[in-house]
Structure 1
């Protein structure tokens, strides 16, 4: 296996422009020269570039594959290149390493964290498990490798209900870390012995019910695509229940589910409640539909740390490599594979 340190020396005429500014890498514009350099350097390093749906459009456009974190991690395990450059946040690159331990996994900026993944620590989960001996731990795939290693089975937003329903009805469940996804699962399954960790994604939690209600009122013919991590998911169902929006227009969907719905929709306008980077892929999937953000400020600062300059730096320097302890990776892999065994995880997060 090659490592980042042993990869061929690379250089680029754009590299001298890279500067660190305000906690992220800047100084390089995503023009045609940058695009060509990224592609050239990727070939030189025998690397596959993966980009999450929430990245800026230029990063999505230059990537070999775009999707949700789990789908990309599974692609990472399937491609034949030695190196994976994961344009996303840190836990996503960890998941790719867990599923493809023999490969070198790089992230363009290792400081790109996640407020949701950081909302529970391994010591907190261990204490919670001790309070509920015998409970099954169901962890959203948007968690760190440490948490996955303490998990019985992972889930995605599209298969969380199916995963919970696969567990015997009389067994307690500890569901983590997202409280809004947990509430959605509890509402759908009616599972009363499901305990929910009070974590959240700061971006999704900030998309509130008042904003959704106002947008729905201003755009009465629009469909609503709402991610279950959103603080407004309950409000969306309330609007449907009260008749303010026809129920068939309210769709609680993962990112992959949103793309499937976009390709099939007959609507002219869709209101989207998730991180704004998703709009780029939705517009590509259905160019004739007017996709509008419920909250146009819903931008993840961690995702946006993966700048054109950061990606160029990563490919030139072979940094930053992601490592996961072998035992931790093996335990986390079991939790992910159990999830996949229950049924295809669909659109991931």
Structure 2
């Protein structure tokens, strides 16, 4: 079966929310697989993608883990089903491969919360500071960074820096607050950026859910606005300490397999529930906020993926000089010894 013979391929529609018109049928899956083989492509999907996209992918995980897989893959083409900064990171680590994203309009409110020019101005205010950037940033920002970090290793990265050096931590204010709390570092300046989805998962919701599910574990992503509230609930005895876990997406998968709880409340983007339920099918995973869905992640639709493989769209390019500087900041992070599991 070729794409032209498959009637469904003609139905792709480009709308304001992305490409639509295609359902994730067995015929769609067969055609995606055929086109991937034809392009010698490997399909990578982030944990926040639609379940159908996760299920068709060769690899599912967090952005940094997937970028490492991209660098090691034998295939010439990487199709990154995620948001744009993730595909950029894959290109940075795999400069000689073709990297495609099914819809280049799939951005990120967190990555957009600081520009390269803003970082240059901030660095000028603190010329001797060490710049630590979360991987959820653009290639240009990574190129101005001393050391990158992930949510799982941000504490270790900051702790590795000379305690007398000031630190500029960006862009996520909630992850920064978590790192500052754990390290006790006073000379740490935090950029006031946020992921609009994670910021919308608030402490009031978390407290209400914890109260109504007293035996549940709490898995909380440190980007969430409710991370501090989760620790407060534990500190005040409303929730047992051992039930509150501040985790990256990769850390949530590991914790899901290890927990003895029958129910887990999850504070992160709702796409994560699909992988958690696959990792530990005997556990009842529930979203703290079932409206916490990233519209950018959901732009990678079955129609967008089919278009990507059919037409070779959209290719991701990173200026070689920017990529070289950005690669150094990622490599410095990995050299610390705990590259972490990604965001």
| Shift >6 Å, 4+ stretches | none
Secondary structure of the residue aligned to 1:168 is coil
* Bigger mean CA deviation after superposition, 337-346 or 156-165: 337-346
Secondary structure of the residue aligned to 2:80 is strand
Pairing 1:26-45 to 2, within 5 Å after superposition = 26-45=20-39
Change (3 A) 1:11 1:169: farther
The one of 226, 248, 253 equivalent to 1:232 is 226
TM-score (norm. length: structure 2): 0.98
Matching residue of 1:57: 51
Pairing 1:1-20 to 2, within 5 Å after superposition = 11=4, 13=6, 14-20=8-14
Matching residue of 1:3: none
Displacement of 1:221 in angstroms is 0.2
Displacement of 1:344 in angstroms is 3.0
* 2:315 maps to 1:321: yes
Task: Check the 8 A contact 1:10/1:317 in 2, yes or no.
Answer: no
Q: Which runs of 5+ in 2 are unaligned?
A: none
Task: Check the 8 A contact 2:170/2:191 in 1, yes or no.
Answer: yes
* 2:274 maps to 1:295: no
Q: Distance in 1 between matches of 2:261 and 2:3?
A: 48
Matching residue of 2:115: 121
Matching residue of 2:126: 132
Secondary structure of the residue aligned to 1:84 is strand
Matching residue of 2:302: 308
Displacement of 1:233 in angstroms is 0.2
Matching residue of 1:103: 97
Q: Distance in 2 between matches of 1:342 and 1:271?
A: 32
The one of 220, 239, 250 equivalent to 2:244 is 250
Change (3 A) 1:12 1:307: farther
* 2:328 maps to 1:334: yes
Matching residue of 2:185: 191
Matching residue of 2:152: 158
Matching residue of 1:176: 170
Task: Check the 8 A contact 1:139/1:155 in 2, yes or no.
Answer: yes
User: What is the RMSD computed on CA atoms of the aligned residues?
Assistant: 0.9
Displacement of 1:311 in angstroms is 0.2
TM-score (norm. length: structure 1): 0.97
The one of 252, 258, 262 equivalent to 2:256 is 262
Q: How many residue pairs are counted as aligned between the two chains?
A: 341
Task: Check the 8 A contact 1:119/1:199 in 2, yes or no.
Answer: yes
Displacement of 1:347 in angstroms is 1.9
* 2:74 maps to 1:72: no
Displacement of 1:19 in angstroms is 0.7
Secondary structure of the residue aligned to 1:338 is helix
Displacement of 1:20 in angstroms is 1.4
Secondary structure of the residue aligned to 2:45 is strand
**What are the Cα deviations for residues 292-328 of structure 1, in whole angstroms up to 9, with x where unaligned?**
0000000000000000000000000000000000000
Task: Check the 8 A contact 1:257/1:346 in 2, yes or no.
Answer: no
Secondary structure of the residue aligned to 1:81 is coil
Q: Distance in 2 between matches of 1:38 and 1:67?
A: 20
Change (3 A) 1:102 1:191: same
**What are the Cα deviations for residues 38-86 of structure 1, in whole angstroms up to 9, with x where unaligned?**
0110000000000000000000000000000000000000001110000
Task: Check the 8 A contact 1:90/1:111 in 2, yes or no.
Answer: yes
**What are the Cα deviations for residues 179-205 of structure 1, in whole angstroms up to 9, with x where unaligned?**
000000000000000000000000000
Secondary structure of the residue aligned to 1:174 is strand
* 2:17 maps to 1:23: yes
Matching residue of 1:4: none
